[in-house]
């Protein structure tokens, strides 16, 4: 499934002459890994940044200190600013980002394990909110995989509109 959607994304981007870049916190490079596993990906992927620390989110991607302090790194606002930042520095047509809590610990009632925000910046910027905890099971790798595949699916949907 992930290979099929990734190939569709790469083929679509190639066909439209578009470029993509990723800023990954929660997924730690999985999006880039999945996309670059497809032959021809070098024609469409500009870069991938593993922006796990707030320092990198701020200093490299331009996520504001105010956003990090007020909303935290696990927020819609941070996901959007990460996507906008990677789009800006890479000059790609689409910037995609992930942030959230993969667990198994670290969650709270307000922000539980499995909470994921996927940000996208293209003509407009937006974020999508998910909870990938499965029946209270907090499988870190499964949460990261679901976030990656859904980010690729979102990028494909956005690319179709460009």
pTM score: 0.95
Report the pLDDT averaged over residues 54-70.
98
- d(C-alpha 145, C-alpha 26), whole Å: 10
CATH code at 90? 3.90.950.20
For residues 91 and 79, give the distance between their C-alpha atoms in angstroms, rounded to a whole number: 18
Q: What is the mean pLDDT of residues 1-7?
A: 83
pLDDT of residue 77: 98
Please tell me the predicted confidence (pLDDT) of residue 144.
96
Mean pLDDT of 130-140: 83
What's the average model confidence in pLDDT over 47-68?
Answer: 97
For the chain, give the number of residues: 162
pLDDT band of 3, cuts 50, 70, 90? confident
Least confident of 97-101, 104-108, 157-161: 104-108
Question: Number of folded domains in the chain?
Answer: 1
What backbone phi and psi angles, to 5 degrees, belong to 98?
-135, 140
Instruction: Supply the pLDDT for residue 136.
Output: 67
Q: Which residues, in sequence order, are CB contacts of 39 under 8 Å at separation 6+?
A: none
For the chain, give the mean pLDDT.
Answer: 95
Q: Is the pLDDT of residue 104 over 80?
A: yes
Mean pLDDT of 106-129: 94
Domain encompassing residue 52: 2-161
């Amino acid at each position: 499934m992930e290979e099929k959607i990734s190939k569709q994304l790469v083929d679509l981007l190639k066909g439209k002459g578009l470029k993509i870049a990723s800023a990954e916190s929660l997924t730690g490079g999985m999006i880039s890994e999945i996309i670059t596993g497809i032959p021809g990906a070098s024609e469409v992927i500009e870069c991938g940044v593993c922006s796990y620390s707030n320092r990198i989110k701020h200093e490299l991607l331009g996520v504001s200190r105010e956003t990090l302090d007020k909303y935290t790194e696990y927020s819609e606002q941070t996901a959007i600013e990460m996507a906008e930042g990677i789009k800006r520095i890479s000059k790609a047509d689409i910037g995609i980002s992930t942030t959230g809590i993969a667990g198994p610990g670290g969650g709270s009632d307000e922000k539980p394990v499995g909470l994921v925000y996927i940000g996208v910046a293209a003509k407009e910027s937006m974020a999508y909110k998910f909870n990938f905890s499965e029946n209270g099971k907090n499988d870190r790798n499964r949460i990261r995989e679901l976030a990656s595949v859904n980010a690729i699916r979102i990028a494909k949907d956005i690319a179709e509109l460009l």
